[in-house]
Amino acid sequence: MAESNCTQVTEFSLTGFTEDPVTQVILFLIFLLTYLVTVLGNLGMIVLIRASPQLHSPMYYFLGNLAFVDLCSSTVITPKMLVDFISEKKGIAYAGCVAQVFIFDLFGLTECFLLATMAYDRYVAICHPLVYRLVMSPECCFQLVIGSYLVGLANGMGQTIGMSSLSFCGSTVIDLFFCDISPLIALSTADTTLSHIILRTSASLFGVSSILVVLVSYTAIISTILSISSTEGKRKAFSTCSSHLTTVSIFYGTSLFMYLKPSSDSSREGDKWAVMLYTMVTPLLNPFIYSLRNKQVKEAL
């Protein structure tokens, strides 16, 4: 009966990071600079890869798509957050919240699979160099990238369907700086079984599988590198995957910390900063990691 008397939610409130005006101005300037550098860095990486013939290889094809995904995932969150810093009312319409959940989950899982694909690419290049061009053909690379986007699309649609089954008769305050499916499930007064099933299935089936691909690939890569007799050969082999390994460590490390740690009211403030790492800091760092640690990119620049 309570659910039947529940009025349709038209807006959610976001708590953001702080209520202190001075701190809000400081954070606004920091995150504005972060977003501008993120946009310029990832756009620059995309243009550089397309314009430089020496970067027309599978590894950089995947990297160009990773830069595009980072650009989109950052754009769906940061501009709204910047507006909230200078607004008295930190609200987001229900439709805008649904859009954030869909797009963020789409590109979030797409990035997971792109990172897994890049790990597989490094595995073939180091462990089976003689068949690399045959295995990582342009058709195969295209299919791997399209597959990553399709898996992300399926995840975004699934989480959106799960959100559509939720009703909010109590609080509509989201203790975060953007709409994420986890705090929305916690706010719902309806039966959240479907949403939990979709969330856990997506995390188990898609997230864990992409992590396993990365782990298995790098286990084989490290084993192959250790079997190389010369120090120079080991250095060259490791340099081809060091940038990707750095990106994987940052992205998966912060994501696993956020979604696999036990929930606690006392850690909510820390959760926000952990979420910020993989939603804003990772897209910022990726172009610099690949440009500063990669000889071919520096030569192209």
User: Is 5 domain-assigned?
Assistant: no
On the question of pLDDT at 266 being above 50, the answer is no
> Distance (Å, rounded) from C-alpha 46 to C-alpha 63?
8
Q: Tell me which DSSP letter residue 65 carries.
A: H
Tokens of 53: 């013939």
Structure tokens at 294: 């990669």
Using one digit for the tens of pLDDT, what is the confidence trace for 91-148? 888 888 989 999 998 998 899 899 999 999 989 988 888 999 999 999 999 999 999 9
Does residue 1 fall inside a structural domain? no
Check which CATH number belongs to the domain holding 242 and give it. Answer: 1.20.1070.10
Max mean pLDDT among 14-23, 198-207, 285-294 falls in 14-23
Task: Check if the beta carbon of residue 76 is closer than 8 Å to that of residue 102.
Answer: no
pLDDT digits (tens, 9 = 90+) for 203-234: 778 878 888 898 899 899 888 888 877 777 77
- 85 touches 27 (CB < 8 A): yes
Q: DSSP letters of 85-109?
A: HT-S--EEEHHHHHHHHHHHHHHHH
Do residues 250 and 131 make contact, with C-beta atoms less than 8 angstroms apart? no
As a whole number of angstroms, the distance between CA 108 and CA 217 comes to 21
Residue 2, domain member (yes or no): no
Number of domains making up the chain: 1
Q: Is 206 inside any structural domain?
A: yes
- Alpha helix (H) ranges present in 52-166? 58-75, 78-85, 94-127, 132-135, 138-164
Domain presence at residue 291: yes
pLDDT at 291 over 80: no
Q: Are 66 and 118 in contact (CB under 8 A)?
A: yes
Contacts of 296-300 spanning 24+ positions with Cβ under 8 A: 296/54, 296/55, 296/60, 297/48, 297/55, 299/54, 300/48, 300/52, 300/54, 300/55
Residue 141 located in a structural domain: yes
User: How far apart (Å, rounded) are the C-alpha atoms in residues 104 and 253?
Assistant: 18
Mean pLDDT of 173-195: 81
- Supply the pTM of this predicted model: 0.87
Whether residue 59 is contained in a domain is answered as yes
Q: Which domain holds residue 26?
A: 11-300
